[in-house]
């Protein structure tokens, strides 16, 4: 399975943010979408999630010779600022989500098994999520997407503002979720992309460009990437 973005474009008035995004993302990989702040990463994700209407191009899943449209259930979207119902406890939130999506969850686990998986502490599970740390809220947002098991997961800088321990836990969780799906991980930090991602895609002047990771050990090549990010048009 591939997730194909074909000549996608998006403009706001006269300003073109996404110009000709064209790439085939393979199942089973984490792709680092690397771009400086304001380069269009979030706009690109909003287009894929159908939160923003595109001006041209298309995107779809490809299975062999067959192209399939992208449905709402095919996409999971994890925001950099976690959005969770703060009036619920962590345990209530997971149970509620499982109840309303019971007909769509493949091989469901128990609430406790899910909370164990993302390492939510026992003494936190019955507290209101309004009292959760940023990192714990982020884990809960990630967990809901894991339960839903979408074919495409969009991660918009989910490690921002996390402490070292939680960030490493989140990386482990993401690595364990690669099978059977495409994961697009947006970041403006090259080191995170190098550590976590199988492939790195540069969003540069509204286009998608593959970066050869084998060259990234070379300091001159790194500087070329940094220069490209520095020169990239920002909104």
Residue-range domains of the chain with CATH: 2-85+152-231 (3.40.50.300)
Q: Of the segments 38-42, 144-148, 217-221, which one has the largest average pLDDT value?
A: 144-148
How far apart CA 235 and CA 153 sit, in angstroms, is 24
In this predicted structure, the answer to whether residue 235 has a pLDDT above a threshold of 70 is: no
| Average pLDDT for 39-68 | 91
What's residue 57's pLDDT?
Answer: 95
Q: Residue 227: its pLDDT value, please?
A: 63
pLDDT tens track for 72-126? 899 999 888 888 999 999 999 999 999 999 988 988 999 999 999 999 999 999 9
Q: Is the dihedral of CA 34, 169, 106, 46 positive or negative?
A: negative
Nearest to 61 by CA among 52, 72, 70: 70
Return d(Cα 193, Cα 154) in angstroms, integer.
Answer: 14
pLDDT mean over 202-218: 78
Write out the E strands in the chain.
2-12, 15-26, 29-34, 56-63, 66-68, 75-78, 152-156, 182-187, 199-204, 207-211
Asked whether 139 and 166 are in contact (CB, 8 A), the reply is yes
Predicted local distance difference test score (pLDDT) of residue 189:
79
Residue labelled with tokens 């959760």 = 132
% of the chain with per-residue pLDDT over 90:
58
Mean pLDDT of the residues in the chain: 88
* pLDDT computed for residue 11 by the predictor: 92
Task: Specify which residues 226 forms β-bridges with.
Answer: none
pLDDT in tens, 140-149: 999 999 999 9
- Rounded Cα distance between 85 and 102, Å, is 19
Does the pLDDT of residue 180 top 60, yes or no? Answer: yes
pLDDT reported for residue 92: 97
């Amino acid at each position: 399975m591939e997730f194909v973005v074909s000549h996608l474009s998006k403009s706001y008035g006269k300003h073109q943010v996404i110009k000709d995004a064209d790439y085939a993302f393979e199942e089973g990989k984490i792709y680092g979408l690397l771009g400086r702040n304001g380069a269009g990463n979030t706009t690109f994700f909003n287009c894929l999630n159908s939160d923003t209407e595109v001006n041209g191009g298309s995107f779809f899943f490809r299975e062999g010779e067959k192209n399939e449209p992208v449905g709402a259930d095919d996409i999971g979207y994890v925001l950099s600022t976690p959005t969770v119902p703060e009036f619920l406890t962590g345990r209530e939130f997971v149970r509620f989500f499982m109840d309303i999506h019971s007909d769509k969850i493949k091989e469901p686990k128990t609430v406790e098994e899910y909370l164990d998986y993302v390492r939510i502490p026992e003494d936190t599970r019955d507290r209101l999520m309004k009292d959760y740390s940023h990192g714990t809220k982020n884990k809960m947002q990630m967990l809901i997407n894991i339960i839903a098991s979408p074919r495409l997961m969009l991660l918009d800088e989910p490690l921002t503002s996390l402490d070292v321990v939680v960030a490493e836990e989140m990386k482990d969780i993401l690595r364990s979720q690669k099978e059977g799906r495409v994961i697009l991980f947006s970041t403006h930090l090259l080191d995170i992309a190098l550590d976590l991602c199988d492939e790195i895609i540069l969003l540069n002047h509204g286009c998608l460009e593959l970066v050869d990771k084998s060259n990234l050990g070379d300091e001159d090549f790194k500087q070329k990437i940094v220069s490209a990010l520095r020169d990239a048009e920002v909104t």
